[in-house]
Amino acid sequence: MEIKRDIYLKKLIGKKRNGLIKVVTGIRRCGKSYLLFNLFKNHLLAEGTDAQHIIEIAFDSFENKHFRDPEILYPYLKEQMQDDELYIVLLDEVQLLEDFESVLNGLIRMENVDVYVTGSNARFLSKDVITEFRGRGDEVHLYPLSFAEFMSAYPGTKQDGWNDYMLYGGLPPVMNISGPEEKIGFLKLLFEETYISDIVGRHNVRNRAELEEILNILSSAIGSLTNPTKLSATFKTVKQKTISNTTIKRYIDYLCDAFLIDSAVRYDIKGKRYIDTPVKYYFTDMGLRNARLNFRQLEETHAMENVIFNELKMRGFNVDVGVIVLNQTNEKGHGIRRQFEIDFVCNKGSKRYYIQSAYAIPDQAKMEQEQRSLILTGDFFKKIIITKDAPAPHYNDNGILVMGVYDFLLDEKSLDY
C-alpha cells in the first residue's frame, strides 16, 4: 500500500541541487524513511536518474553497521562516484554515523553530490537540528498523515475514516494494524517506550513522572488557553504536588521541541501585536494524544479543532489565535473591556485567513455567535467557518465562507473557494 505524500515530495524536488543538506525531520513513525527511500527515489528514477548515481545507506540495517565508521563510509562513498555526473546520496538514521556533521559537510563540498538525510533519535527529533550543520542544512518537516492522505488508502467511507482518524490518528504504521486493541496497544507502547524516552534522554529529565503528568494535563486541555501558572495550579489541585512555573515551561518546551505538541500564540488583530500568554496547545497526532488518556476523553469538538490546526500547519501557514479587544460601556455607564476570539489567524506570504472551528451550528443564534468576532475584525481578509456537517461550501449574507470539515480537509485548495 503506497500512500502519496505529495506536499513533502514537492518540497524535496524543489530543493534539489541547492547546495545544502536536505534534512527530513518529524516524530518517529511519521514516514520519513518511506518519503526518502521510496517516494523520492522513485521520482528520481522516473525522471531519468541513473540508478548507479543514487547511493542509499540505512545505518540502522545490520548489513550496513560497518558504515557507521566514517573512516569506512567516506572512502566507500568516494569510490562509488566514478564520474563527474550528479550523485544523489540518501542516508537514513544518520545519527548512528559517528561524527556525521563532518562527513555531511565534507560531502556537500563536492560539486557533484546532493545529500538527503533522515534521523530518528533525540537529536533529530528537535527543532534545533539544523544548527548541527552550521547553516548548511535545509529542513523538510514531515507530519503524520493528513486526513486526505489517510483517506487515499482507507477502504471505507469518509465518515468511518473520520471516526478512525479522530481516534487512532495518522501515523502510517497504524493503518497496517487491523484490530482496535492492537492499534491502541501500539500507540500506547510507542508513546511510552519511544517518544517519552527520547525526551528524557535528550534533556536528562530527572523526574519523568512530572513530565508525564504535565503531558497528561495538556492532553486533557487541547485547544484551551493556558500558561505555566494555570498548569501549576492544576497540578497542585489535582495531584496535590507543587511544581514551579519555570519547570513547567521547560517541560512544555521539551514537548514542543520534540514535535509532539505545537502552540498557537494569541495575536491582537486591531492592536497588531502578539500577546505572550496564555497560549493554546495542540497535539501533532490525535492517536498519540488519545493514547496518553487511555482513549477515555474523546470530545469531537476539540478534536476537530486540533485536526484543523494541524492541516493548516501542513499547508504551510503560520497559525495564531486571534483576539479582538473592544472597550464598551455597560448599562450602568461603566467602561468595560471585552475580548472576542478567532480560533485561527492564518498567514502565508501576503495571504491571511480568519477561521472559526464550529462543530455544530444548529440555528441562526449559533451562527451569529460564531461569526461575530470575524465581522469585528473590520478588515477585508477572507473569513471562514468550518463545521462538521454543512452543505456545499457557500457564502452567507455577511460574506463569510461556510464549509464542512470534509470539504476543507479533502481539498487542498478549499480556502480559495
Residues 310, 327, single domain; the answer is yes
Phi-psi region of 93 (alpha: psi -120 to 50; beta: other; left: phi over 0): left
CATH number at residue 10: 3.40.50.300
pLDDT at position 233 is 86
- As for how many domains the chain has, the answer is 2
Q: What percent of the chain has pLDDT over 70?
A: 96
In this structure, is residue 1 part of a structural domain? no
Contact present, 238 and 230 (Cβ < 8 Å): no
Q: Is the same domain home to 185 and 46?
A: no
Listed residues 141, 158, 178: the one ending a domain: 141
Is residue 128 pLDDT above 60, yes or no?
no
Q: Give a yes or no: residue 156 inside a domain.
A: yes
Could you tell me if 37 and 92 are in contact, meaning their C-beta atoms sit under 8 angstroms apart? yes
- pTM recorded for the entire structure: 0.92
In a domain, residue 96? The reply is yes
Q: Are 61 and 191 within one domain?
A: no
What is the pLDDT at residue 328?
A: 76
State the Rg of the chain over Cα.
24
Say whether both 177 and 74 belong to one domain. no
Give the residue among 388, 391, 392, 417 at the shortest CA–CA distance from 405: 388
Last residue of a domain, one of 83, 114, 141: 141
Res 165 pLDDT > 80: yes
Structural domain contains residue 192: yes
Of the two residues 57 and 389, the one the predictor is more confident about is 57
- DSSP letter at 226 equals B
Same domain, 243 and 181: yes
Residue 25's SS3 state is: strand
What is the distance between the alpha carbons of residues 246 and 250, in angstroms, rounded to a whole number? 6
pLDDT greater than 80 at residue 330:
no
Do 95 and 217 lie in a common domain? no
Percent of the chain with pLDDT over 90: 71
Q: Does 411 lie in the same domain as 291? A: yes
Q: How far apart (Å, rounded) are the C-alpha atoms in residues 135 and 18?
A: 13
Terminal alpha carbon distance of the chain: 32
Same domain for 367 and 382:
yes
Q: What is the pLDDT of residues 346-382, one digit of tens each?
A: 999 999 999 999 999 999 999 999 999 999 999 999 9
Dist. CA 140–CA 165, nearest whole Å:
24
Same domain, 161 and 254: yes
Dist CA 97 CA 83 (whole Å): 26
Identify the domain containing residue 80 by its residue range: 6-141
> Is the pLDDT confidence value at 329 over 80?
no
pLDDT digits 0-9 by tens, 17-26? 999 999 998 8
What pLDDT does 192 receive? 87
Give the residue from 119, 141, 163 where a domain finishes. Answer: 141
The reply to whether 216 and 350 lie within a common domain is yes
Q: Are residues 184 and 118 in the same domain?
A: no
378 assigned to some structural domain = yes
